[in-house]
Structure 1
Amino acid sequence: MFLTLAVCFCMMVLVSADPCLIISEINADNPRLDTTEFVELYHTSGQRASLDGYTLVFYNGNGNIAYKVLDLKDHSTDDRGFFLVGSVDLVPKPAILLPPNTVQNGPDAVVLYRTSAARYTEKMNVTAVGLVDAVVYMTRRSGGAEFLAEILTPGEQAFVEDEAAHEEDESIERCLLSEDQWGFQLSLPSPGQRNNCTPPAAPLASPFINELKLGGGQVDGLVELTDASTAGPVVMVVWDGKTDQVSVSMDVDTSRTGLTYLTVGKKYMKGDDSGAVAIYGGRAADFPVGSPLSQTQPLDAFVFAGPGNKPSANLTETLIPGRLPYQLSNSLREGGFYLSRCGVATWARDPGVFWEAPQTPGLPNKCPWPKICPHTILIPGGTDSPPHLPPRSSGDFLINELNTDTPGAAEDGEYIELWHPSGLRVSLQGIWILLFSAHNNKPYREISLSGHFTTSKGYFLLGSDRLVPAPSLRLPPNTIQNGPDAVALYRSLSGPPSATQRGIPTKGLLDAVVYRQRGSDREAQELSKALTPGQLPLLEDPDVLPGDEALSRCGGLYPLDLSAFSVALPTPLRENICPRPPPAPEGVVINEVASGHWSNQSQQTAFVELHGPPMTELRGLVLSVFDQDLSGTVVALPLKGVIDQNGFYVVGNVTEADQMFPDGTTVPARGAVVLCYDLFSVCRAGTALTNSSLRDVLVFSENQRLLSSLSTTRGRQVMPAPR
């Protein structure tokens, strides 16, 4: 199944109580001659609805101009809510006929507007004004839909229509992902009919919960699982929503293929109560009845809330972090509640993918057609200008603020704040946060952010339950360890990064912060080496500010750059409040450099000696060491302290050093030493260093990249010869 989010973003959020018109299906590319193309609209009331005031516009991604405009005035949907625009050979017959080969194959877009039809004309430039719904699509061969997506579905990539997905024809169909979040998938065309929205055969976690029956205390409960034959030992656990204790634990028979049914006693999983069902790797003996809530992460979980019986916040946030429990109806039924997995989201541990539906043991789930409106964008007079990323930005998600140690024993104000440099509402599909412990260099918590979005300003907050403002993803108090530890941000579409990579995963790494407590630098050595090489862990210093403090990104949008962070006042979901930088130190230069590689295997050790006015404060100066063989920075060390009374300051692995090199780093045989003033970013080879930031340079290399990127007007090139 090919699935992508294609949700438009909102200044106005429509809900199920207010039906709306959506683009439901597009078939732009038929086999051979394009004589059965179509665009299907659907009114979520499921009834006849007038289309007066709506305009359908087709955009060409080559030039980003409109090639077809259809005013829908005097038209209406059919009695089931459907409306077809398409080729003459299409069955059923479209309400508006198009010549063959009208709907272009991509990169293109189909957009539904609701405002004056007079403002939309063929050959006009792409606009978001009046936009209600949009689909941006392309083929694997074409690409090139980035500009259309930036304007029409900001924060989302264009959908890729893969002509090889089915033997015959295929179409782009809108399906509900979870709760009120919609997406698109490729499936067999279904013009004028319900889309083929079947749940994925294998979400990220397998086996997973497929159907549930919650009894009313009169009948047994049931849990249907997908095929568990390829998994190791698997156990199903029922948790009590009031005590957070094990009510039932049952080993799952993994010797059989296909769907598996498990029966739960009638006094558990009651529709007028609260609780949870979770699937774990392991055995029932690992979860004895009455044992407390385990912090082991389940393969899948379903948390439910009966009328007036909410499960504990701890149960919810441990089993389904960032999601809401399924709220059961007030009307208890004699036969119980039947719930089926119907959302097509590929992630697990989300009750939002379940709907009330008839029970279908051993058969595909029989899901109703949803009547929920997607989030839509409606800009009556907005700007057409695309967003532009700030200078020096990676363009992807960054860790923006980190508060790991809050005052008091409760630790109920800790948080992690992410930011997308576009400053827009952006999907977090495929984004993971891993919390690493330096004691074993392994993640102690893996958090999938799929299905979540940033705020309209690009922020995303996860943190403790009592944090104000409320985080989008809640964590139990005292979850984020105080250090030495690390927070790492990844993009991974195939599950947690640790599942496919040995050791500390680096593939897909977007950003990371390695941090420590006082005196614990060395314990984080392996995490630093893998995640932020050449940099010392950050210290969230509790003595800097009265009350609470955070590590805030205060300048520089480079990822994996610890020098961009400062200890500052916590500002969750707000612009960071950064300390005013001190005046730049003057008169400090590189005075002497030594490398252990220059003295023919003698006992010489590596160091860099600086010279400057006595007692000069060094904050803001960064000492960087480049290695030509490694093509990059091996040390990027923000300096601290002051020049001594004799005018010297030594950095290196020598007894008289004022500051040590990070473990495992040294001065190479060929490279460069750079002294620069830049409070917020690391001096890098290949970066255009301005004369105001560059203080002194010594290049001991013939590497042309180093020579061209490091200004010779403020340094020297010297070629050392081993004695």
Structure 2
Amino acid sequence: MKWILAILLAVAQLTSSAIIINEINADDPGTDYNEFVELHNTGNETVAMDTYTLVLYNGYGNVAYDVIRLTGQSIPAYGYFVIGSRYVDPRPEFVLASSSNLFQNGPDGFALYSGDPSLYTSGMTVTTVGLVDAIVYSRTEGQTATGLTSVLTPGQDVAHEDEYFHTWDESLSRCRGTEPFVTSQFVVTYATPGNENSCANTESSTVIPTASSAPLLVINELNSDDPGTDDTEFIELHNLENHAVSLDNVNVVLFNGYWSSNTAYDVIHLSGMSVTSRGYFVIGSANVVPTPDFVLPAERNLLQNGPDAVALYYGSPSDYVVGMSVTAESLLDAIVYSKTAGDSAPGLTSVLTPGRDVVHEDEYAHEEDESLSRCGDTTAFATSQFSVALLSPGGPNNCNSNNGVSTPSFTTLPATTTATETTESSTTIPTVNSAPLLLINELNSDDPGTDDTEFIELHNLENRAVSLDNVHVVLFNGYGSSNTAYDVIHLSGMSVTSRGYFVIGSANVVPTPDFVLPAERNLLQNGPDAVALYYGSPSEYVVGMSVTADSLMDAIVYSKTAGDSAPGLTSVLTPGRDVVHEDEYAHEEDESLSRCGDTDAFTTSQFSVALPSPGGQNNCDTSNDASTIGLTTLPATTTIASMSASTSTGTTWSVTTANINEHTTGTTQELEQTTLIHVHGPTTHQSTSDPPGYTLHSNNNPYHPRCGTVHDETHNRPGFNKTRNYT
């Protein structure tokens, strides 16, 4: 009888909701950059998620290892809401601060709650109070987590995310119903964040290739429609591995999407061929320059104009024949394309590239010829990364949107400016996923005096130089709930070296910045404000624009005043993060907000107050802390006599546990009985004379002109300790 009452009590604690967990990707191949959780609103009204919290549970201790509060968010009727890494495509509605290893691999659990957000904290024990939906999962088949399933999903097994389902990536998708807590409704499918789940053909047979057996190849470029006789068409593959790979069992299949055929009209088997380390492999006619690696007969017209598809498979060549129906089994990569804008081919896209549109090869983009070129990341099936560009068979793609056309630099467009786009036509609007890997690395928003040495430093994380075309720094005003841009800096025409730094600032910054602002331009407001890094068309970023997360690469919301908040900025740019405080008392001279932790975007918790280091590695070593700079620390038994006998003019001596002495004129001065010592700086604040940088205040206590604080004998100011001195 007791167990029946326990079950009834647990059920009574559950919360009815139209929101369910719909899809999860907790383990992607490699660096776990594309992990996400997708929620789905099954109701016909928008749902505000102010009371919703997603709790991540560890199955080895049955406690929460992370908590994600969704306050301020909402899901439209029948809509989807994705929580995940900034590398997930399309971009999640809620971008987590870390970009990789967001979720544990299992056996672990996701639990969605509705209730007072303060009830749910890291380290909490698993609970059903306010529970809306849950799933317990693992990437290893047969694992159990009874401590989680018995509470969150009674009677259900651990869901298995089979990492061998697909060569590239997969997810656990809800395909067999919408009842909460029913784990059996989840099956392994292709990942479709933000879209309807790929539930077709979920009963597929075992996949032949695995991530370890198939080479890491992607479709990198194709020219399906050249001017004239179509005798220079080609397909280019790109090897992502750091060694040469065999193309045995690699097959290129061309599918016809016209009249809903969805069958193969040509098949190219590549067994016996190979591709060099990080190299390119071109399939085309003898007229392609340079000569392709795989030359097709002259009479063979390679690619139809569309809507059609190129699909890359790994498996026995005998399985891939002309006339075969489209399939996702053993698929490595695919692109569905057409030369006609607006074409659709649902029979192909639903199988090969679920949730993706047909890519348009705009034949009017160039006077000569053009191709569909991968210009973003190297994730398979990410067809949104393809742009129309000049041909480059066998080499790096022509992804500079200007294709050699000079773009004026150092130009900031006012809100009333009409920008004339100088880039070549492209059907793909730039997204954050096609942007270079750049971060905001350091900023100095408040220097002593006239604010003429302020700067922003970006850091290139790639092992190659990158163009800053379409990269923009937008400065947002958080004061008075404005949340609009007060300045915009367009960086098109600039570049940054491999793993290098790019500094924006005035001519007074040392060394000279890469982007020098006019002398009359005060770069950064003191806060609460924000610096945001975007990738997109320059015309989209203008003074007066409202804050947005679209195409956002990185951001930091900051202030020189501790405790400041700017919810209008943090809720959009850095959800779940606080305003970062640039403590102006940290150093006697100047300081900056410096990234001293990991290199994940939006991780504002990784910023520390440090000595400025524009254009170089940040001063993150604690041995460089101002508390140790310029100070000689003596043992507590040191006397005035021994100090004056060995001290040179201008040296500051400090013993914070007992004896204090300041030597500034070549003679020893005796200090007052109680003195404030600034724990971050080399100067003793005492009331008998004016230390350097201080003026005597009306009450005869030193007044620091930077911090505006009177250092008196009766209170310990923030950042100060009261000590005893020698008398």
When normalised by structure 1's length, the TM-score is 0.33
TM-score (norm 2): 0.33
The one of the two structures with greater contact order (alpha-carbon pairs below 8 A, sep at least 6) is: 1
